[in-house]
Amino acid sequence: MGSDGRDVPAKELPELSIVETSALIRRRAISPVELVRAQLDRIAALDAALHAFVAVADDAIEAATRADAEIGAGEWRGPLHGIPFAVKDLIDVRGLRTSCGSRLTEGRVAKSDAAVVAKLKNAGAIYLGKLALTEFGTGGPAFDLPWPPTRNPWNLDLEAGGSSSGPAAAVAAGLVQLAIGTDTAGSIRAPATLCGVTGMKPTYGRVSRAGVFPLAPSLDHVGPLTRTIDDNVLALEAMSETAPAGGGNSNVAASIAGLRIGILRDPHVDAGASHEQIEAFERAATVLAELGATLREVRIAPLVEWIACGEAILASEAYAIHSADLTERPRSYSARTRSSLARGAAVDAAATAEARVALQKLVAGLDAAFSEVDALIALSTARLPRRLDAIDIEPSAADTQFRIPFNLAGTPALALPTGFTSEGLPLGMQIVARRWNEALAYTIGRAYEEATGWADRRPELPGLNTTENA
């Protein structure tokens, strides 16, 4: 029975939030086995078209049976007990292949669980499978690999975004309620925005990167993708290596009245954001003001300066990891990834050192902005999803995104939906808070989500009889 007293058909279980599902499991209204079977059925029905999963766990039913027995015996571990999760396939799961979306590592078998996987399993969550990504997390889709690019659930002709494409598409399509991605220059927030879901890049160091194949270690973050803010809070609390997300649910406030929110507008025009993106962002700002926040325009260093620093640091760190293989086995990479990684060869030690010195000034400017406001809002990207059959193999420029400043600064940044284009494609923004204050970003995000209802919208998925979209 559902929380409102009605039966919940098995096919509708993937449509529920983690919070709703967890309440049903704890009350024994449904079992983890029923939930996992419903998710597996949905994957079987949809993923041949989406390509979000690269592997599905063969022991998920067994794990769900154990979880059901534990809960029945009164050994409830918390709100993720019995909830399935899946991970981007550069995150290790013991005894399983970690392909990183590449021929180079497709035979690599993990000896132990990544720290984040271990934490989720300890919380009672059930591993459901590995999710697709762009090769080694480098960005855009490739077409010369064994795995086809993930497609966007809102329009199967379009990209899902990168590099956490599988996690975003899987959550948007209801294949899994919780997916774990990584974010080096926006790789959680970009696909979250393009697929219309919620994605958190937490504070640098909040979630352990142990057992996660690196792209650029000083910029890499691990974070959750979910449909709703409250689901994201639960996930980050379980994943966190340090203190919980801002202190836990009790610190995610019920109101944003009196908060000072800074609006970052300059980059939107500079990067060529569409009028629909800008209009949706301005409407979101208006909603926050109506909810009691005080808004003011804030300026930080020009986006081009952040991008220059970020590209130098990312390129040099990534090249250091891949230089030997690029020399010895270049054709094992896709053409797009090879081109992207090879750019690091031109970034010498002096250029990297110069970028790090410049970065100190940029971060100081961002910190100064936070002395005037409690949080910042900005678009997540100036790019709408592209047709997969029209994407060039060359790496795309980074000047259409506003995410890398917050990787460089290590601040938490939350991407969430803000509506849809006239063609029905998701739009989104990001909420940025001071380091270690994810709870404030969640507070603002929850207030906005409750006021607008965008998280309730679902894509129409061919071949599946679902409940009507909200």
Q: Which of 22, 88, 99, 334 is catalytic?
A: 88
Six token digits for residue 238:
């379980």
Cα→Cα distances 63→11, 14, 305, 365, 424, Å: 20, 18, 48, 48, 38
Is residue 187 part of the annotated active site? The answer reads yes
For 329-458, where are the alpha helices, taking DSSP H only? Answer: 335-342, 349-369, 404-409, 438-452
DSSP-derived 3-state class of residue 416:
strand
User: Which residues face 295 on adjacent strands?
Assistant: 261
Q: Which of 22, 165, 187, 240 is catalytic?
A: 187
Contact criterion met (CB below 8 Å) for 236 and 18: no
Is residue 163 part of the annotated active site? The answer reads yes
Residue with tokens 């995150």: 91
State how far the Cα of 111 lies from the Cα of 127, in Å rounded to an integer. 16
For 212-274, where are the alpha helices, taking DSSP H only? Answer: 229-239, 266-270
State how far the Cα of 441 lies from the Cα of 447, in Å rounded to an integer. 10
Of the candidates 383, 409, 306, 304, the one whose C-alpha atom is nearest the C-alpha of residue 140 is 383
Q: Where are the beta strands (DSSP E) in 267-360?
A: 294-297
Q: Which of 22, 163, 334, 340 is catalytic?
A: 163
H and E: helices and strands count for the chain: 14, 13
Residue 290, CB half-sphere, CA atoms under 13 Å: how many?
11
Six token digits for residue 265:
């507008």
User: Which residues face 221 on adjacent strands?
Assistant: 183
Contact criterion met (CB below 8 Å) for 186 and 404: yes
Six token digits for residue 38:
């419903």
What is the four-CA torsion angle of 32, 177, 11, 47, rounded to 10 degrees?
Answer: -120
Is residue 88 part of the annotated active site? The answer reads yes
Peptide bond into 163 cis (omega under 30): yes
State how far the Cα of 217 lies from the Cα of 272, in Å rounded to an integer. 30
Which residues are identified as catalytic?
A: 88, 163, 187
